[in-house]
Amino acid sequence: MESQLRLELGILFIVLIVARVLFLIHKVTTGHSKYATSKRKSSCKTIICIGSGGHTTEMLKLVSNLDFTKYSPRYYIMASSDVTSMQKVEELEKAKRLPTKGTIDYRIYRIPRSRVVKQSYFTSVFTTLYSILYTTPVIFMIRPDLILCNGPGTCIPVCGLAFLLKLIFVKDTRIVFIESFCRTQTFSLTGKILIYFADNFLVQWPSLKRKLKRSEYIGQLM
Amino acid sequence: MKRIFVTVGTTKFPKLVNAITTEQVIQTLLSLGYNFVQIQTGRDFSKVEFDSVVSPPPEIKLEANSTIVTVNDKLTIKYDTYFENFEKEVEESDLVISHAGAGSCLEVLHKRKPLIVVINEDLMDNHQSELAEQLQKDGYVYCSTCSTLKEVLKKDLSKLRPYPKPDDSLFPRYLDKCMGFT
């Protein structure tokens, strides 16, 4: 009898989780989570996913225009192999800090890459798993209010874990995805995945907006 | 002095570098009155190759880290692997010929310089041609391949539209609204 009860409870538990996942995906894809429902008074903990090369340049251009007192503290997550991006982040932070004489309110985390350019989709499953394992404590410690990402592989585990936080009612993290300026007709692999998880899905070309109803084109960003 | 700046960014694209020194491109450059070409060659560029048909044979000089080639006393071509002051070089040029990387294209467009984007056809799975074609469709640049460069060079550069400045407040305003700051 007892084992029967345990089985039923187990099934119930799984059904509830599946329902919660579907509910969250539904909320995201129908655009119901596009805007905050209440007014925010405190600053928001922000994770900024930094990719490499062009992705970094684009992301830092977007971030540089933000009011850093609102988006504080900032956690930059980047591939452990990427030295150039780290320098660029430090330059930006310094440039923003100097005129205000503020204190350092950012931190850089470096994680292993989930997928390098041209790696096969099959092997990238394993590297992604490793990358997720490595990222988990970081995300659970930060529990961010906001994640900004624009395409590099490193942002998939970050967004996945943030989704988990949301799933278990720990933190309602907003994921904002900005598709790269290079994408005018087709979505990147990251974009195709985040269609189901990003609360806000921005594209930089009207021609790409026409391909996905829930994407948004707010004007020329670059 | 009419200057051209050719750049391949941080990638390698020897085909583009060599395309400049084909006879037809050289003739086109001479007939259009260009007299200085600065080439940023990027990685994996070994040596200057000339079509044997170019006559009289060009004079090739090595100077510090650059190679300088003079054709007919009229056209000077300077080769460097990388560039410290990319911005200055763009500003001084009358035309920029670039690979299809978004970063290089944007820098040139923001400086409002005429731009020819050369698509690397050897990178078939590359989505970079997507951006180049869109920019051409919107009238900001001319697209080319290594083999069509000689014709594209003849196009009227004054017909290109200046690239508008982005509105830097768009993204912060949007994000503030999403986060409930406004």
Taking the CA atoms of residue A71, residue A77, residue A82 and residue A85 in that order, the dihedral angle to the nearest 10 degrees is -10
pLDDT band at B52 (very low <50, low <70, confident <90, very high): low
Nearest by CB to A54, from B101, B164, B179: name it: B101
pLDDT at B49 over 80: no
**Residue in A with minimal Cα distance to B123:** A118
pLDDT at B23 over 80: yes
Between chain A and chain B, the number of residue pairs with CB atoms below 8 A apart is 87
Q: What is the mean pLDDT of residues B130-150?
A: 96
Average pLDDT over all residues of chain A: 92
Instruction: Locate A139 and state its tokens.
Output: 């995300």
Query: Per-domain residue ranges for chain A?
Result: 1-32, 42-209
CA distance A46 to A70: 10
A42-209 classified as CATH 3.40.50.2000? yes
Query: Cβ–Cβ of B168/A65 closer than 8 Å?
Result: yes
Encode pLDDT of B165-178 as tens digits: 999 999 999 999 99
Minimum mean pLDDT range among B27-41, B58-72, B148-162: B58-72
User: What ipTM was assigned to the predicted interfaces of this complex?
Assistant: 0.91
Instruction: Locate B13 and state its tokens.
Output: 């694209």
- Asked whether the beta carbons of A49 and A152 are under 8 A apart, the reply is yes
- Asked whether the beta carbons of B178 and A34 are under 8 A apart, the reply is yes
pLDDT at B126 over 80: no
Dump the DSSP string for B122-157: T-TT-THHHHHHHHHHTTS-EEE-TTTHHHHTTS-G
**Set of chain B residues whose Cβ sits within 8 Å of the Cβ of A37:** 180
The counts of H helices and E strands in chain A are 7, 6
pLDDT at B47 over 70: yes
Nearest by CB to A222, from B106, B128, B134: name it: B106
Q: What pLDDT sits at residue B140?
A: 98
Q: What pLDDT sits at residue A53?
A: 76
Q: What are the structural domains, with CATH classification, of chain B?
A: 3-179 (3.40.50.2000)
Q: How far apart are the first and last CA of chain A?
A: 65
CA distance A191 to A176: 11
- Cα three-residue angle A154-A158-A163, rounded to 5 degrees: 145
Q: What is the mean pLDDT of residues B83-107?
A: 92
DSSP A67: -
Below-50 pLDDT ranges, chain A: none
Q: Any CB–CB contact under 8 A between B180 and chain A?
A: yes
SS3 B32: coil
